[in-house]
Structure 1
Amino acid sequence: MNDTGINALYLALMLILPISALAARRLPIAQTFKMALAWVAIFGVMFVLVMLWQDAFGGGGSVGGVK
């Protein structure tokens, strides 16, 4: 059985919560956009650091332990 519809509904509900919280605060759109870009930058830097760490120390093996 495929639960794609249930997963999509769950993800939509998970997005509604922070969006409605931001809407309730009535922040200017420029400030909201700037904060969103800052979070994207933070996660992007962390992603790059994890990838570099895995390359340097041989982490992140393949699935099932087979190379």
Structure 2
Amino acid sequence: MTMETGANILWFAMAFTLVLSALVVRRLPAADWIKMGLAWVAIFALVFLAIRTYQLAAG
């Protein structure tokens, strides 16, 4: 594993922790947890794809 891969894993772990802590604090029912969790996953996936596409186009 390279330093870049380790940094990426750390970044995603911290982002996931931030989202998870925000959901835990709100104390929502399970159905709302799932909806919000999927929304956050979609947001991070879109940001990841946008950055990845930009990097591939620039490189």
TM-score range (shorter-chain normalised) is: 0.5 to 0.7
Q: Alpha carbon RMSD of aligned pairs, Å?
A: 2.6
- How many residues end up aligned between the 2 structures? 42
Distance 2:46 2:40 in 1: 10
* TM-score, with structure 1 as normaliser: 0.50
Q: Which ranges of structure 1 fall in alignment gaps of 5 or more residues?
A: 1-10, 59-67
Structure 2 distance, partners of 1:25, 1:51, is 32
Normalized per residue, which structure has more helix?
2
Q: Corresponding residue for 1:6?
A: none
- What is the CA distance between 1:26 and its match in structure 2? 3.2
- Runs of 4+ displaced beyond 6 Å: none
Which of 1 and 2 has greater Rg? 1
TM-score, normalised on structure 2? 0.56
State the Cα deviation string for residues 13-45 of structure 1 (Å, max 9, x = none). Answer: xx5x828x72x6431100011001000000000
The aligned amino acid for 2:21 is P
Bigger relative CO (Cα 8 Å, ≥ 6 apart)? 2
Unaligned runs of 5+ in 2: 1-12
Distance 1:27-1:56 versus aligned 2 partners, 3 A rule = same
Q: Calculate percent identity across the aligned residue pairs.
A: 45
